[in-house]
A and B are shown apart, each in its own frame.
Chain A
Amino acid sequence: MKYLDEYRDGRVAAKILSEIGRVTTRPWTLMEVCGGQTHSIVKHGVDRMLPSQIELVHGPGCPVCVTPLEQIDKAHAIARRPAVLFTSFGDMLRVPGSHTDLLRLKSEGADVRIVYAPLDAVRLAQEYPDREVVFFAIGFETTAPANALAVTRAKELGVRNFSMLVSQVLVPPAIPPSCSPPVIGYRASSVRGTSVR
């Protein structure tokens, strides 16, 4: 599978731009929901190529940014417990809750560790059987299978000291029905089995 050339074909881009210009009959304000999109749009000048009636607003970004404050506060309360070894994707460490963030809690002595994969948290639970290893399971639908497999894996291995604080969110319900079919990025499509072409 290729996945760069399809998006870097100048002829296709020109055709899409011309079509966007044709159907833009009134002002539109569009919000991106991913920092990667914002970066690409600005880097490649997409914002300057679009008709002037289209305004782009840089949206909340990754799932880290749309995790509810209540969940973040819960994570902090759990991470503070002495018996807990709290694990999280690195992106979450600086995200502020009502009072603090995970990085600060770590500097104050809480055992907070960065993992790249949920399975790493299961492995930590095996290494530290006397601790409760909690994984902060945040993410869009793309991370749900990985998180679910970590739970299945912990059960298979008989790991009893592993748990998750779950804050999974779905993208399609946040997209208005008028945008059907939903615009879903490449990675999401890989996980969901949706074709992007």
Chain B
Amino acid sequence: MCLAIPGKVVEVFQDRGLRMARVDFGGTVKKACLEQLPAAGLGDYVLVHVGFALSVVDPAEAERTYRFLEELGQLDEIRMPEGPA
């Protein structure tokens, strides 16, 4: 929970009034809430922390950060399975 992780928005959808996204973190796709980042849309790279997108980030930097976090072994928690939407 300490680190925010960048990922790519691959789908935007509504979940009973909440604007949500599916975000691809290097192959692991997880849901994230876009309510705090209305500007984010399909194809954007966003920084996600505890299930919320916080900022739109530069794609190349997102990729590098992701690799860096992978080196540090910090990506385990996003690889945990999650329940249905």
Contact = CB atoms under 8 A, between A and B. Distances in A.
Interface stretch (A17-25, A74-82, A120-128, A164-172): A120-128
Nearest to B47: A190
A90 B30 CA distance: 16
Given A143-B50, A191-B54, A127 B3 contact: no
B55 A62 contact: no
Interface string B47-73: 101111011111001001100100010
Q: Would you call the interface of chain B mostly helix, strand, loop, or mixed?
A: mixed
Interface residues on B, range: 20 to 34
B57 A3 contact: yes
B54 A187 contact: yes
B35 interface: yes
B16 A90 contact: no
Interface stretch (A46-54, A104-112, A149-157): A149-157
A116 B80 contact: yes
Contacts, number: 94
Contacts of B32: 117
Interface in A35-55: 35-36, 39
B51 A117 contact: yes
A4 interface: yes
Contacts of B33: 117, 119, 149
A184 to B, nearest CB: 14
Contacts of B76: 90
Nearest to B35: A149
Nearest to B69: A36
Contact of A116 (B51, B61, B72): B51
Contact of B61 (A3, A35, A117, A156): A3
Contact of A119 (B2, B51, B58): B51
Contact of A187 (B4, B35, B58, B82): B4
Interface of A: 1-5, 34-36, 39, 62-64, 89-91, 114, 116-120, 123-124, 127, 139, 142-143, 145-146, 149, 153, 156-157, 187, 190-191
